């Protein structure tokens, strides 16, 4: 018994020391959302050029990392935060948690992607939140993809759509804003009427994109052939199929004004002890090497127009006319829209 106890104690001590208490080495810490991905060699290039270690900590969804940053005001867990997008931008700016920085690399970024003209948040990539459909399902059911959003309220699409909850998912929020732009707010048939009809047409709301995509989308065994996802998701399906697919098994429903242009950016957190290095990192994220890496990693488009796109992006369709709604409109009304939507759809 003594021997066994001492073995247990020794193992415990070893494990205790391996439960590390944090390092003391100088490093640059980026707090990112869960969808962030990048190549090892790209980061290595930055690390070697600047004699630093980059730590990228995934800390939840865009909303969650913003809440964390606000709660940590002045004493952040990292130097930079990546994942602030144009739907949450103004809330972030209102809380006064960023250090301003205007990167010289912005010269390669077109006006329309300039997320924040006060230069607290620097844009890095953009994507389009868009309706996707399962080709096999529609073919079998003898249905053609919808051509207008109103169609989704008709009988043949009953019980065939899954959307994300704008309270918890930035994808869901993006689509909600697109519907506001598409239907308007005070018209005869406004966005709330649309959502009311969708609810009557048995729409399913899931809290996160992963839940919706992997349990409800019919391509993965669910019962819904229509899903709010990204315009690049069909291309991703080819890329991640290890050669199984030559053409995307899913497709985009391209309806004018029913798509939302989502721009994501990076910001320096107030309280960072590495502001100079952080600024260099921001420059780096706008540089060609970084910008050419992210499409194949996160399935987003790079804001730097000089950067080229990978080959399989030929399957990615760019919507011709995304929803036209200004950042100011979004910032003023976002919470109101979410509340009204919740009232109609979830209550």
Which of 83, 167, 169, 89 minimizes the C-alpha distance to 129? 169
Smallest distance from other proteins to CB 251, Å: 13
Q: Which 243-302 positions form the footprint of other proteins (CB under 8 A)?
A: 244, 297, 299
Is residue 346 a contact point for other proteins (CB under 8 A)? yes
Cα separation, 199 vs 158, whole angstroms: 10
Q: Which 62-91 positions form the footprint of other proteins (CB under 8 A)?
A: 63-64, 67-68, 70-72, 75, 77, 91
- Judged by CB, which is closer to other proteins: 189, or 240? 240
What is the β-pairing status of strands 98-99 and 260-269? antiparallel
- Binding-site size for other proteins (CB under 8 A) equals 73
Is residue 207 a contact point for other proteins (CB under 8 A)? yes
- Selected from 96, 147, 184, 220, the binder of other proteins by CB under 8 A is 220
Cα separation, 208 vs 171, whole angstroms: 8
- Judged by CB, which is closer to other proteins: 20, or 186? 20
Is residue 53 a contact point for other proteins (CB under 8 A)? no
30: left (phi over 0), alpha (psi -120 to 50) or beta: beta
Strand partners, 224: 217
Cα separation, 245 vs 99, whole angstroms: 45
Is residue 142 a contact point for other proteins (CB under 8 A)? no
Cα separation, 5 vs 44, whole angstroms: 45
Three-class secondary structure of residue 45 per DSSP: helix
- Selected from 24, 221, 273, 311, the binder of other proteins by CB under 8 A is 221
All residues at 6 or more sequence positions from 216 whose CB lies less than 8 Å from its CB, including other chains: 162, 204, 206, 222, 223, 224, 227
- Judged by CB, which is closer to other proteins: 227, or 254? 227
Smallest distance from other proteins to CB 77, Å: 5
- Judged by CB, which is closer to other proteins: 150, or 197? 197
- Judged by CB, which is closer to other proteins: 223, or 321? 223
Smallest distance from other proteins to CB 102, Å: 27
Is residue 37 a contact point for other proteins (CB under 8 A)? yes
- Selected from 18, 51, 186, 320, the binder of other proteins by CB under 8 A is 18
Smallest distance from other proteins to CB 55, Å: 7
**What is the sign of the dihedral through the CA atoms of 169, 170, 175 and 179?**
positive
């Amino acid at each position: 018994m003594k021997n066994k106890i001492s073995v247990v104690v020794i193992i415990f001590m070893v494990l205790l020391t391996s439960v590390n208490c944090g390092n003391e080495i100088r490093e640059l810490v980026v707090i990112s959302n869960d969808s962030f991905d990048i190549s090892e060699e790209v980061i290595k290039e930055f690390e070697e050029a600047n004699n630093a270690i980059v730590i990228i900590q995934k800390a939840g969804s865009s909303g969650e990392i913003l809440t964390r940053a606000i709660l940590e005001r002045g004493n952040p867990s990292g130097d930079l935060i990546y994942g602030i997008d144009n739907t949450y931008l103004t809330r972030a700016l209102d809380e006064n948690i960023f250090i301003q920085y205007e990167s010289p690399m912005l010269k390669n970024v077109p006006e329309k992607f300039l997320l924040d003209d006060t230069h607290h948040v620097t844009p890095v990539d953009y994507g389009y939140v868009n309706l996707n459909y399962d080709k096999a399902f529609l073919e079998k059911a003898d249905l053609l993809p919808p051509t207008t959003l109103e169609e989704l309220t008709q009988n043949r699409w009953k019980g065939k759509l899954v959307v994300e909850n704008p309270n918890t998912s930035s994808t869901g929020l993006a689509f909600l804003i697109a519907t506001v732009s598409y239907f308007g707010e005070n018209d005869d048939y406004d966005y709330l009427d649309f959502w009311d009809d969708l609810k009557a047409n048995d729409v399913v709301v899931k809290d996160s994109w992963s839940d919706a995509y992997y349990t409800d989308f019919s391509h993965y065994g669910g019962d819904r052939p229509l899903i709010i996802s990204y315009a690049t998701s069909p291309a991703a399906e080819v890329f991640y199929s290890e050669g199984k697919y030559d053409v995307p098994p899913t497709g985009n429903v391209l309806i004018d004004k029913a798509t939302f242009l989502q721009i994501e950016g990076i910001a320096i957190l107030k309280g960072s002890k590495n502001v100079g290095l952080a600024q260099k990192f921001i420059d780096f994220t706008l540089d060609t090497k970084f910008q050419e890496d992210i499409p194949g990693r996160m399935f987003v488009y790079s804001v730097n127009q000089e950067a080229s796109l990978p080959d399989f992006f030929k399957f990615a369709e760019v919507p011709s006319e995304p929803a036209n709604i200004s950042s100011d409109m979004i910032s003023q009304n976002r919470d109101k829209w979410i509340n009204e939507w919740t009232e109609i759809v979830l209550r």
